[in-house]
Structure 1
Amino acid sequence: MNVMSIAYASQTANEMEPLNLNVESTAKINLQDWVYIHDSQHINKLSDIRSQPFSDWHKFKRSNSHKLGIKNYWVSFKINGGTTPLTRIIAIDNPLIDHIELYHFINDSLVNTHSLGDIYPFNARPIRSNIFLYPIHVAANEQHTFYIKINTKGNMDLPLTLWSSNDLTQMTEKTNLLHGFQIGLLFAISIFSLFIALASGSFSYSYYCGYVLSIALLIVTVHGVGFQFIWPNSPYIQQHILTINLPIILAFSLMFTEKALQLKYSSINMLRVCRALATASIILSFIMPFIDYSIGLYLIITAIMLVLILLAVFSLIRAFNGLKNAMLYFIGRVGLLIGGGVSGLLYFGFIDYDIKLQTPIMFGLIFEVITMAAVLAIRYNDERKEKQRIQQKALEQAQRIRESREDVLRLEEQTNEKLEHMVQERTLELEVTLRELNEVNQKLTEQNNTDQLTGVKNRHAFDRRLAAEGRISRRQQTPVGILMVDIDKFKPINDKYGHLAGDNTIQLIAKTLSEQLKRPTDLVSRFGGEEFAIILPNTTPDGAMLVAEMMRKAVSDLVIQWQGHTFYSTISIGVSVTVIENDQHPIQLLDNADQALYEAKRNGRNKVCYFEQTTE
């Protein structure tokens, strides 16, 4: 802000009709009756405009405000002080003006220059308000002259008012209360719609919520509340938010119409038109920042009016087709059309009322929002009743099904009782038979794995156990031992005492070998004839040799008696111990033990020999 004391000789200022203030002047004065405007829009400097003849100036008329996108628009007015000093505030109640240059003269001396407008951050304003305010102090007999240059891409509406501070405060409070009520009502409706949309999964309420929120953003923008509280440091947003938001409102309105008029089930052509226009509106919203503001605003306003007329026609057609809510929807659209039409007539100067240009369309929007809420409420109530009717039918059908099922269950119960009695009898018979079969099966299994003469495991059980222990040894890398046992000089026993004595000898030796094993995992099996094979899992060579020696000694100490004859017998044992490495290794281990057995035989019998791997 620059304060200067520059004297200009100006014939123009002396010929303008001034506003004469005194202590009896009203606290609110509409300055438009004392405002003069200049015809030319090519003068940029203050000195040039002050040098213009008075014939180029004329009294301000309301029709002069009906312009869109103006440059170097000069207005001027004078205020003369009375006998008493007064403090007043000049208000320009159009928050969307881009650039205002205000020059303040006192007695033909420039005392202040100030730049206002929404191209500057909000905090740059001399008084923090959503409208443009400039305070002045009018001393006794002073003459205050003001020159205001306007540059704006939007509407040139210039409501100039002179206020006392107290009355301006009261007016601001009332206006803020009204704006707060409008915005709060819209936000309350949108939040309520959002909750219903989330609870019901309805796209109708989702689109309506977006529509109401975008209208709330429009009102916040038009009244300057957004620039004051939401984006005060972003003039760029303030410059473009209106032209971006209007196509979004149009898009949500079209999508909501699709659901509210149920076009999907009635008219595919109407549905396609709504979806195409909604898509075009969204695209338009993205490209608006790159289009000239004035052209873009004309384009959007024209599109909105045409779409509103089209949607009103759609709703009227659906009403004639019998859709219950279509007429109420039509009334809401007509209300918005009337509000928009009155604002358009005011804007283009066809009618002249002392109201703001945006007031009729704002009331039209509020009326339409409330009407659409009623449309949704009626539809929601109808859907609720339809659901209740369907639920009642479902309950009745379920009751009939339940009764039929109970009859079937009773019949089944009677049949089941008979069947159960028969099944119980058959079950008892089967249980007895299965028990007998199980006992026979166990006996057969045991006989299949047991040597009938000695009672120890047979060759078949030995082979399966050796394969299993081989897998364990390979997995855990633990050694497994094999003992091959052969009764020494068994043939002479058969020849001298008979085969029954030989069988008795084999039985006693098998029992003695089993008694030497202490672990449940060790296995004694009859390998064939007078040979036995013993598996010692997880056993070291020393341990295997110790067990073999214990067996050899126990057998050599065994006294065999048969039919009054007493004799002794010995055994030879071959031992082999290793960690199994592959599937063929267990067979090799058995062969190694067999080789060690033959070594014990060759060394004189009644001996234990360990297989040693020889390296060539």
Structure 2
Amino acid sequence: MKQHFIRLIFLMLITQCSVSFANDSLDVNNNLQPSVSLTSYLGILEDTSQQLTLADVQKAPFKTNLPAQESINLSFTSSAYWLRLIIDNSSDLPQEKIIELDYPLLKYVDFYWQIDDKTIQTIHTGFGRPFENRAYQSKIFAFPVQFPAHTQSIIYLRVASANSFFIEAKLWEPTAFVNKERNDYATQAIYFGVVFAISLFSLGLVLFLKELDYFIYLGMIVFIALVFIAYRGIGAEFIWPNFPFLTQTGTLNFGALTITAHLLFISRLLDTKKLLPRFDLIVKLIIAVNLSMPLLLAFDFSWAKPTNILHFITALFILITTAIAALRKQRNAYFLCLGFSILSLGIILTELHSVGLLPSTFKIYSLNILQIASAFELLVLTLFLTDRYRFIHQEKQQTDNLLTLTQNKLLTKTEEHKASVNHQLTLTNQVYQMQKLESVTRLTSGIAHDFNTILGSILGYNALNTSTIQAYQDESLKEELLFNNQQINNASQHATKLIRKMMAYSSKHPIDKEIEIRPTFDVIEEILIMLRPGLRKSCQVNTDLDHNCNIQIDATHLGQILTNLLVNARDAMQNQTGVISISLKKIMSDEATCTSCAKTIKGDFIELSISDNGSGLTPSVIKHIFDPFFTTKEIDKGTGLGLYTVNGMVHDIEGHIVVESSTSQANKGSNFRLLFPVK
């Protein structure tokens, strides 16, 4: 009887202990939900020395019966923490589950899985260790396990981090966990897609406007993106897996740069120096302190907590500044206050949670609010900057229109004055040219009269020479002398006709206006024979003449035109061997332009061209080549009236002149194309 009573007491104690122990365990067979929060099932042990081993903690007492909440906020601590989780599987089948620690900023995570005091699996991971060490390749820490039937598993987790951290542990069905991961990555893809689109738009504004405000805004977008890349563990997974320092300091460093860019951007747009002069000094001080934080964190990470507090103060200061500016009806402040209010709330909640001043329940809400608010703020500020660009563009357009109108008025007055001055100069030049031409006319009349007398003597003596030559017995010499006399006679007759034309032109009562039209081919041949002695032996003359082409022009005028152009071509050789080419043909002109009158030449024409391979003419010379008294020759070798006379004679019969010339060594020379209408 006594033994039976003792057994009954012993059985009751065992039962009581089992019930008490069962309160700390989770039976996966009784759990049909996709996920279960493990916070209330965890035992927690602080390792202040960070030296405890698995054997040590198995003997140590764990704190249990934690409050039923989503996470445990451990804030900033130099301790490591051991977590114990007891999981039963009372079913007849193995159960596959995934244990998740949903916080990427855990530097060291050690996973130990034991069944009946035997270690089944050990995993050493964390962002401070190679990414390949992770049991599940993800930005968070997940451990797939298969609990055997009718077993009790004890899992120990050691976590440590210099960052502010918290424990959010869940037990997932594998399929539900995969879906949750997929949805999370999709959400992040949407967020960063929006940020990327806004950054591209802002980059376009920066490149187009080249204003510092838009450049600061672009930097703000980039730093915001980097904050969440570091905080969400995306950097450790995809961008910098081999640089754990960036994961540890990224949130704080990029956060300091982000909030500095925010403050600088807002202070410039609100013009706090004028609007809030007392705040301007504080703005500069806060910016300087925020920029110094990344340097301090690089040397000593214990500055992490003061950095979080500084972020909180800066966010609160920005919120107050924009609110005051909005109350003062500053136009830009409405957009800034709207865009930053939700973001500042997220920053304030996040920073208060990081330093342990808010309970763990705020973790999920503050983080999601922060990321949603950042996207909302970027959209609002992008719309604001677009509106600001439109407003500035309208003001600039109005200013440009006013400036253009003023410039046009000024230009009109300037052009009117310039035209008046040019008209006066033109009249003065015309009077001067008329005076010069009047003087030349008088001089020409006197010279022509005297020269006509001299030609009479030349013709008389040439006639006597012809009579004398008839008595020569040497037929060869006689023939040559008679030919030369004939050329002298022809040249003299040509000169006599030319002098008569000159006298008729210079006379107020012309005595001869008869036009003698002869075959163009004969006139060209006659002029070439006449000028042969004057053309040096070094000048080779090539002709390509169509006998059926006849220009309806006075033969004397044509001879004068040919003489002037051939003499100019000879002089362009500059005592060097050269070629002069004469061409006469019919052409169809499409888009030629007259060098003298600048008219477009279209239709059928007879083209008389004289070209040479001499020194060529520059564009500046061609521009004035037909002006009276313009010459490039030496004073005693040219009067500047030759081409002026040619131009007048050609245009008198509705002809045109096209001058083509080059001074390059490869294609040096000039070509005067005289186009006469076909009649």
TM-score bucket of the superposed structures, by smaller chain = 0.5 to 0.7
Is the counterpart of residue 87 in structure 1 residue 96 in structure 2?
A: yes
Is 1:164 matched with 2:166? no
Residues 12, 52 of structure 1: 8 Å contact kept: no
TM superposition shift of 1:231: 1.0
Counterpart of 2:184 in structure 1 is: 175
8 Å CA contact retained: 1:204, 1:259:
yes
Distance 1:357 1:270, change over 3 A: closer
Larger mean CA deviation between 28-37 and 396-405 belongs to 396-405
2:384 to 369, 372, 375: 375
Residue 189 of structure 1 aligns with which residue? 198
- Residue from 289, 298, 310 that aligns with 1:303: 310
Residue 128 of structure 1, aligned match among 137, 140, 143: 137
Equivalent pair of 1:211/1:252 in contact (CA under 8 Å): yes
Q: Could you tell me which residue of structure 1 aligns to residue 652 of structure 2?
A: none
**Deviation of 1:268 (Å):** 5.7
Distance 1:409 1:151 in 2: 85
Aligned-partner residue type, residue 274 of structure 1: V
SS at 2:104's partner residue?
A: coil
CA shift, 1:207, in A, is 0.5
Q: Distance in 1 between matches of 2:309 and 2:441?
A: 96
The amino acid across from 1:251 in the alignment is: T
Structure 2: which amino acid aligns with 1:289?
Answer: A
Corresponding position of 1:326: 333
The residue type paired with residue 131 of structure 2 is F
CA shift digits 1:553-602 (9 cap, x unpaired)? xxxxxxxxxxxxxxxxxxxxxxxxxxxxxxxxxxxxxxxxxxxxxxxxxx
Distance 2:304 2:341 in 1: 22
Give the TM-score normalised by structure 2. Answer: 0.57
> Is the contact between residue 316 and residue 326 of structure 1 (CA under 8 Å) also seen in structure 2?
yes
1:385 aligns with 2:364: no
Which residue number in structure 1 is paired with residue 549 of structure 2?
Answer: none
In the TM superposition, what whole-angstrom CA distance separates every residue of 1:58-104 from its partner, at most 9, and x where no partner exists? 42554742422241312211111122222111111100011112211
- Separation in 1, partners of 2:286, 2:61: 52
How far did residue 146 of structure 1 move?
0.9
Greater Cα radius of gyration, structure 1 or 2: 1
Deviations for 1:179-222, whole angstroms, at most 9, x for unmatched residues? 11112222222232122112211111111111110110011111
Q: Deviations over 1:210-265 (max 9, x none)?
A: 11101100111111011101111222332222232222212222322233223466
Q: CA RMSD in A?
A: 3.1
Cα deviation, residue 118, structure 1: 1.0
**Pairing partner for 1:71 from 42, 65, 79:** 79
Answer yes or no: is the 8 Å Cα contact 1:71–1:150 preserved in 2: no
Distance 1:99 1:432 in 2: 112
In structure 2, C-alpha distance between the alignment counterparts of 1:70 and 1:208, rounded to whole Å: 37
Structure 1 spans left out of the alignment, 5+ residues: 1-9, 436-616
| 1:456 alignment counterpart | none
1:511-590 alignment to 2 at 5 Å? none
Structure 2 residue aligned with 1:45, among 38, 50, 53? 53
Distance in 2 (alpha carbons) for counterparts of 1:218 and 1:332? 18
CA change 1:40–1:201 in 2 (3 A) is closer
Instruction: Give 1:139's aligned residue.
Output: 148
**Per-residue deviation, residues 311-358 of structure 1 (Å, max 9, x unmatched):** 233333433454311122122222222112333455536453572652
Q: 1:152 to 1:39 in 2, by over 3 A?
A: closer
Task: Specify whether residues 339 and 244 from structure 1 end up closer, same or farther in structure 2 by C-alpha distance, changes over 3 A only.
Answer: closer
Answer yes or no: is 1:285 the counterpart of 2:314: no
Which stretch of structure 1 is more off in the superposition, 132-141 or 307-316? 307-316
Q: Is the 8 A contact 2:41 2:85 kept in 1?
A: yes
SS at structure 2 position matched to 1:119: coil
Relative to structure 1, the CA distance from residue 171 to residue 431 in structure 2 (aligned partners, 3 Å threshold; closer, same or farther) is: farther
Partner SS state of residue 52, structure 2: coil
1:59 equivalent among 47, 62, 66: 66
What is the DSSP-based 3-state SS (H/G/I as helix, E as strand, rest coil) of the residue aligned with 2:128? coil
Instruction: Find the aligned partners of 2:177 and 2:77 in 1 and give their Cα distance.
Output: 29
Distance 1:419 1:271 in 2: 68
- Figure out how many residues of one structure are paired with residues of the other and give that number: 423
Deviations, residues 377-402 of structure 1 (Å, cap 9, x unaligned): 22112111111111221232233334
Letter of the structure 1 residue corresponding to residue 330 of structure 2: L
Distance 2:196 2:222 in 1: 7
1:35 shift after superposition: 1.6
Please tell me the residue identity of whatever aligns with 2:86.
K
Distance 1:375 1:171 in 2: 35
Answer yes or no: is 1:34 the counterpart of 2:19. no
Counterpart in the other structure of 1:254: 263
**Alignment TM-score, normalising by the size of structure 1:** 0.63
Contact 1:16 1:78 in 2 (8 A): no
* Counterpart pick for 1:149 among 136, 155, 158: 158
Runs of 5+ unmatched residues, structure 2: 1-16, 445-679
> Structure 1 pair 432/124, CA: closer, same or farther in 2 (3 Å)?
farther
Q: 1:188 to 1:214 in 2, by over 3 A?
A: same
Where does 1:328-407 land on structure 2 (aligned, <5 Å)?
328-344=335-351, 346-347=353-354, 348=356, 350-351=358-359, 352=361, 355=364, 357-407=366-416
Partner of 1:313: 320
CA distance in 2 between partners of 1:289 and 1:343 (Å): 22
Equivalent residues of 1:86, 1:137 under 8 A apart: yes
Letter in 2 for 1:110: T
Which of 1, 12, 32 lines up with 1:25 in the alignment? 32
Q: In 1, distance between residues paired with 2:67 and 2:159?
A: 14
How far the C-alpha of 1:305 sits from its partner, in A, is 1.8
- Tell whether the 8 Å contact from 2:41 to 2:64 is kept in structure 1 after alignment: no
Higher relative contact order (CA 8 A, sep 6+): 1
Change in Cα spacing, 1:416 to 1:219, as seen in structure 2 (3 Å) is same
CA distance in 1, matches of 2:113, 2:68: 23
CA separation of 1:106 and 1:426: change in aligned 2, threshold 3 A: farther
What is the CA distance between 1:282 and its match in structure 2? 2.3
Specify which of 215, 218, 233 is matched with residue 206 of structure 1. 215
Classify 1:355/1:123 alpha carbon distance in 2 versus 1 (closer, same or farther; 3 Å): same
1:310 is matched by which residue type in structure 2? Answer: F
